[in-house]
Chain A
Amino acid sequence: MLRASVTIKDVAHAARVHYSTVSLALRDAPVVAAETRQRVQEAAERLGYAPNSVFSALSRYRPQREVARRRPQIAYVTNCADQADMRRHPHHRHYLEGALRQATRLGYGMKVLHVSETEHDSESLASYLKRHDIECLVLAAFEPGFSTLALDWDAFCVVKIDSRHIPPSVGGVSIDQLEVVRTAHREMTALGYRRIGLAVRRAEEESTDHRFTMGYFIEQAALAPGSRVPPLLFPHNCPDDEMGRLLCRWARKQKIDAVLTPWAPAGEHLRRDGLRVPDVVALALLSLTKPDPELAGVRISPGVVGAKVVSHVATLLRTGQRGISAFPTHTYVAGLWQNGASAPGR
């Protein structure tokens, strides 16, 4: 025999509230008083109410079909100064494109917001989010050394792209820099290079929880102590020319025959300084985003990072997981090796 399943209205009746309140309370929406939430949750538990996943899927599907109804919004927050600044960083553009595609697929809208001296500070951002009734936040690749953000996190579902160095403690998505560096180190070793060095901006090291050097140290640990090269960490807010100078000085001093770096202009700076690529120094770029016969290195997929971050924030919203997490889980997206003229092999 079929047993009639417990519906949201049964719970509403038992807890003496409207059924829309039940829905909010079960998702832990802060708009419902904590006492009421608890009462409703207890009633649901007692009656054995479980959300019907078919209806959940339907309610996800419905916003796409009803044009009049407002789509739920995701705020995509960066600390790039403004849109022009964002366009200058190609990885930001790819992250955002991936995020926008996935948001559209899942039926969400997306607003790009900047925390910077010229745009939002924490207070104005908070009031913007409230005014527009936005609950979902993506903290997208916050750069160390620029503006940060303080919000009442309990009111939001938050996921980060990189940004490991700043609060809140929430999950996130990144490129798998550890595996990217290991792959490049292994491939360059197989190509016959013997003095391999990693050069990375300190800002990127910190925002990725040191995963570049993690991959680097474990590969270098397999070498004889005399063949190991200390990594070059570019200081914060270092202008390109200064980075180029540091890079060439380090490469000469350490007698490096192959540079691993995510910094795209590295090749140009080496060339300018007389360290021709690949004749004098080989180069493996750790941030390739499209096939290029000139460049060896690792192809990364920032678009997939953007898509995943939106899926994760949508999961948080569905399951009512707001605020900080005691055990934030971070997801890393793989990269693929690509041979190229900048590392022909010894």
Chain B
Amino acid sequence: MHDVAREARVHQTTVSLALRNHPRLPLATRQRIQKVAARLGYRPDPMLAAFNFHRLASHPVKGTPAIAFILDADARRCFSQRAGHPVVIEGARQAAKERGYGLEPFVLDSEEIGPRRLDQILLARGIAGVVVSTFETKTTRLELDWPRCCAVKIESRHLWPPLDVITNDQHQVTRLGLRRMLDLGYRRVGLVSTREAERRLGDAFRTGFLVEQASLPESARVPPLLLDDSDRKHPERLLSQWLEKQRIDAVVSNLNDVARFIEATGRRIPMDLAFASLDLTPETPNLAGVVQNHALVGRRAVEQVIALLHAHERGLPEVPSVTFVPGFWRDGSSAPPAEAFE
């Protein structure tokens, strides 16, 4: 096509139009170029043409730009375990659709699609907008051609590069959970979390808990219980000692199975002790607690990518930011008003 263009002294796009007999070109020009092409023996590549036809047929509205949603193959396990993740993608997809973008998930896998291959795909597809979704802590770097991309991360604060992050607001979630339990009339409210979760989320649960306790009288402040990996599976004894020693009347936790462990110590919820979850899922309809707003996390991530695209802000930010999405309280039978038992 380049050869034809040079020979006919026109641009290659003109050649393309002429060979398709496009009416935008004067008839004389079309014929002149067609003759040159015939003389030089130019033929359109049928494979390429077939590919183009196929591509256009599967994209009825031409030119819908896409935003890539990159998933960590290793994190697939937690996708099946944590109810939040599919909701994040759905929120992102919906937000993209409303703005006229398509959302395309890509699963990064060292064997199938690695970062280098993904880079080629994004470049070939002309995709600049990228959402890096939750990555497991064992992946520490993600090498893509960042100067070309408008990108944000969901959680994954441990992961290089330092992009803008969108995440659930665990500080607010914990503060809200504690405040609501106090409003319901509980006086000795304790927090149970794991050292692993606190490491991954920058001590977010304890930070929220401590600042909210700072405004309480000394008598209402309960030291949090942090579980090690080793006692994560059977924390009943530790839990029982802590509940006893701290005279606890209500527990808040990001771990929903803590409710089960409490009952395994012989205490009944809510008769002996109230419980509120800090990450309610649809599978726990009876629990009171805080619902994390996973769909809004996905939506905000896409909105920020589109804002970067509009402002042509590519590459790594000068200083990174974190955007926190708040959760909301839901009443449940595991935490009725405290006076019901007096």
Chain B positions 68 through 89: 1 when the CB is less than 8 Å from some CB of chain A, otherwise 0: 0000000000000000000000
A331 touches B321 (CB 8 A): yes
Whether a CB of chain A sits under 8 angstroms from the CB of B25 is no
- Give the contacting residue for B326; candidates A56, A210, A327; CB below 8 A: A327
In the bound complex, CA of A102 to CA of B318 (Å): 14
One digit per residue, 1 when the CB lies within 8 angstroms of any chain A CB and 0 when it does not, for chain B 95-117 equals 00111110000000000000000
Residues of B within 8 A of A304 (CB): 317-319, 321
Q: Is the CB of B207 within 8 A of A3?
A: no
CA separation between A333 and B214, bound complex, in Å? 25
Residues on B with beta carbons closer than 8 Å to the beta carbon of A54: 63, 65
B62 CB contact (under 8 Å) in A2, A106, A301: A2
Q: Which of A129-137, A275-283, A312-320 contacts B (4 or more CB under 8 A)?
A: A312-320
Interface size on B, residues (CB 8 A): 43
Count residues of chain A with CB under 8 A from any CB of chain B.
45
A30 at the interface (CB under 8 A from B): no
Is A332 within 8 A of B322, CB to CB? yes
A-chain residues with CB within 8 Å of residue B97 when the two chains form the complex: 50
- Measured CA separation A314–B206 after assembly (Å): 35
**Distance between Cα atoms of A226 and B61 in the complex (Å):** 68
B63, B214, B322: the one contacting A331 at CB < 8 Å is: B322
Q: Assess whether B100 is in contact with A218, with CB atoms less than 8 Å apart.
A: no
Question: Given known contacts A57-B310, A304-B319, A311-B307, is B296 in contact with A327 (CB within 8 Å)?
Answer: yes
Interface residues in A1-43 (C-beta closer than 8 Å to B): 1-3, 5
Instruction: Determine if B210 is an interface residue (Cβ-Cβ < 8 Å).
Output: yes
Inter-subunit contact B322/A176 (CB<8 Å): yes
A301 to B326, alpha carbons, bound, how many Å?
A: 24
* CB neighbors of A among B163-208 (8 A): 164, 169, 171, 203, 206-208
A306-346 residues at the B interface, CB under 8 angstroms:
308, 311-312, 314-315, 318-319, 326-336
Against A, the Cβ 8 Å flags (1 = close, 0 = not) of B242-260 are 0000000000000000000
Is the Cβ of A333 less than 8 Å from the Cβ of B321? yes
Contact between A106 and B60, CB atoms less than 8 A apart: no
CB-based contact B328/A327 at 8 Å: yes
Residue from the list A3, A60, A176, A315 in contact with B61, Cβ < 8 A: A3
B247 to chain A, nearest CB (A): 20
CB atoms of A329 and B211 under 8 A apart:
no
In whole angstroms, what is the CA distance A336 to B320 when docked? 11
Chain B interface residues (CB < 8 Å from chain A): 56-57, 60-65, 97-101, 164, 169, 171, 203, 206-208, 210-211, 214, 293, 296, 300, 303-304, 306-307, 310-311, 317-326, 328
13 contacts between A and B (CB under 8 A): A52-B63, A214-B207, A214-B211, A301-B319, A304-B318, A308-B321, A319-B98, A319-B303, A326-B328, A327-B293, A333-B319, A334-B321, A335-B319
Nearest 9 CB-CB pairings of A with B: A53-B100, A331-B323, A218-B207, A217-B210, A3-B60, A214-B211, A333-B321, A301-B319, A311-B307
